[in-house]
Amino acid sequence: MRPVAIVGIGKTAFGAFPDRDLRSLAVEAGQKCLADANVSPSQVEAFHLGNFAGPSFVGQNHLAPYVAGALGISGAPCTRFEAACASSGSAFAHAVAAVAAGIHDLVLVCGVEKMTSQSTAKVAEILAGAGDMSGEGRVGATFPALFAMIARRHMFQYGTTREHLSAVAVKNHANGAKNPQAHMRKVITMEQALAGKPISEPLTVYDCSLISDGAAAVMLAPLDRALEFTSKAVRILGVAQTSDHVALDSKEDITTFRAVRAAGEKAYKMSGLGPADIQFAELHDCFTIAEIIASEDLGFVAKGQGGPYALSGATSLTGERPINTSGGLKSKGHPVGATGVAQLCDIAMQIRGEAGDRQLARNQIGLAQNLGGSGATAVVTILGAA
């Protein structure tokens, strides 16, 4: 297997864009990425599209050639990958494997979702399809309800508090306020977070990520060809996708995500690094409790210590290991199919020194963790300066 690099990145702003359709978002991200990598559409050897529910959100399926055609990509295999909110993380993991194995040199990976054209109730119903509709979904358990159960159990088992959850929200809103591409650029206080409108006890509106439109793209190439395209290549040090049961009641323990632990172990092994080497991370904070659990599952802290870790300030922009400098799904926004690749763009921006007001000094090794459903899919990627 040969080393692989990200030689271009491109993102749309995340937000609610009533005048934009799914394809125009994906095309904007793809074109920005092609321009950033100095690659023409005819050079692209394969196109991987991550999308969760375009057919349900906007009525269009067969999305990979649909987007690729508009980008001017012709003849190359164009494939849509669906793995719930880890759809574009999965598209990326398969693309890295194809380049590492020498099957392709230039692969464009894009993630996209257009969610805001549906009512919030309809969005919740579509998202519930990432869980077990024959069980959870049938009894009305939408994702806020599932993660509320997870949060309650984490509180019971480890003493996690409302303040711990709110600390994640306050930090991510502070970071997102500095991100010009974030959906919600609004600083919130601990008092506001604690007084948030209840959604599903103990989660309030400030514990839940946003319903957003957006797209993101990265261009992959073999590391030994990276200089042909960019002077700012980012190396993929490790990547792994793993799976677990879909239904929450099939899991042995709902305070940890087995797939995240397994993907983390594999990515660490591939990179030769350990948790202590990770300088900063983008973690999948679909709900505040998910960031806390991810920081434990990836070994940043011991099991049960994710809450105090967040409250301590260690994960803030000026802390020992900043988490979600982009604002995370909570503040940057969460167009679900775009999120996996957007995290990688955000890590790459830090490594390239392009993170503006959020720029870190220790920016050489970053980790991205992308979660599907309530943990049935996980993708963990470790990126480093090339």
Which has the closest alpha carbon to 50: 287, 245, 342? Answer: 342
Residue 205 sits in the site that holds a second copy (CB under 8 A): no
Closest to a second copy by CB, 206 vs 268, is: 268
Nearest distance from C-beta of residue 108 to a second copy, angstroms: 13
Beta carbon nearer to a second copy, 129 or 275: 129
* Residues within window 79-138 making contact with a second copy, judged by CB under 8 A: 79-84, 90, 93-94, 97-98, 100-103, 126, 129-134, 137
Please say which residue, 32 or 94, places its beta carbon nearer to a second copy. Answer: 94
Toward a second copy, which CB reaches closer, 12 or 241? Answer: 241
Closest distance to a second copy from the beta carbon of 67 (Å): 9
List the one residue out of 4, 1, 375, 2 whose CA is nearest residue 220. Answer: 4
Site track for a second copy across 258-287, x = CB under 8 A: xx--x-------------------------
| 8 A C-beta contact, residue 8 and residue 218 | yes
Site for a second copy in 32-61 (CB under 8 A): 47, 52-53, 55-56, 58-61
Give me the least distance between CB of 159 and a second copy, in Å please.
30
Q: How near is the Cβ of 100 to a second copy at its closest, in Å?
A: 8
Instruction: Give the pairing of strands 365-372 and 280-282.
Output: parallel
Which residues, 6 or more positions from 192, have their beta carbon under 8 angstroms from its beta carbon?
206
74 binds a second copy (CB under 8 A): yes
List the one residue from 88, 116, 242, 350 that touches a second copy (CB under 8 A).
242
User: CA of 139: how far to CAs of 1, 84, 133, 276, in Å?
Assistant: 46, 20, 9, 42
Shortest Cβ distance from residue 157 to a second copy (Å)?
23
Residue 17 contacts by C-beta under 8 Å, 6 or more apart in sequence?
A: 25, 116, 213
What's the min distance (Å) between Cβ of 360 and a second copy?
A: 31
Residue 86 near residue 340, CB atoms below 8 Å: yes
Q: Do the strands 46-50 and 4-11 form a parallel or antiparallel pair, or are they unpaired? A: unpaired
- Whether 33 sits among the annotated catalytic residues: the reply is no
Our finding on whether 221 is near a second copy (CB under 8 A) is no
Q: In which residue are the tokens 């793809």 written?
A: 30
Paired sense of beta strands 365-372 and 198-200, if any: unpaired
Would you say 123 or 165 has its CB closer to a second copy? Answer: 123
Q: What one-character DSSP code corresponds to residue 272?
A: T
Stretch that binds a second copy, among 140-148, 230-238, 254-262, 315-323 (CB under 8 A): 254-262
Question: Left, alpha or beta for 75 (phi > 0: left; psi -120 to 50: alpha)?
Answer: left
Among 94, 154, 183, 334, the one annotated catalytic: 334
| 203 lies in the binding site for a second copy (CB under 8 A) | no
Rule CB under 8 A: is residue 303 a binding residue for a second copy?
Answer: no
Q: Which is nearer to a second copy, 129 or 319 (CB)?
A: 129
Which residues does residue 33 pair with via DSSP β-bridges, in sequence order? none
- Report yes or no: 5 and 229 within 8 Å, Cβ to Cβ: no
* Phi, psi of 222, deg, nearest 5: -65, 140
CB of 350 vs a second copy, minimal distance in Å: 27
The answer to whether 154 is a known catalytic residue is: no
Out of 244, 285, 291, 346, which residue is the one contacting a second copy (CB under 8 A)? Answer: 244
235: which strand partners?
Answer: 5, 384
Q: Which position among 85, 110, 208, 345 bears the catalytic label? A: 85
Q: DSSP state, 181?
A: T
Query: What one-character-per-residue DSSP string does 358-382 give?
Result: G--SS-SEEEEEEEETTTTEEEEEE
Q: Kindly tell me which of 127 and 293 has the beta carbon lying closer to a second copy.
A: 127
**Is 18 an interacting residue with respect to a second copy (CB under 8 A)?**
no
Question: Smallest distance, Å, CB 381 to a second copy?
Answer: 13
**Per DSSP, what are the bridge partners of residue 282?**
368
- Say if residues 274 and 175 touch (Cβ distance below 8 Å): no
Positions that interact with a second copy (CB under 8 A): 21, 23, 47, 52-53, 55-56, 58-66, 68-69, 73-84, 90, 93-94, 97-98, 100-103, 126, 129-134, 137, 240-247, 250, 258-259, 262, 372-373, 376-377
Residues labelled as active-site residues: 85, 334
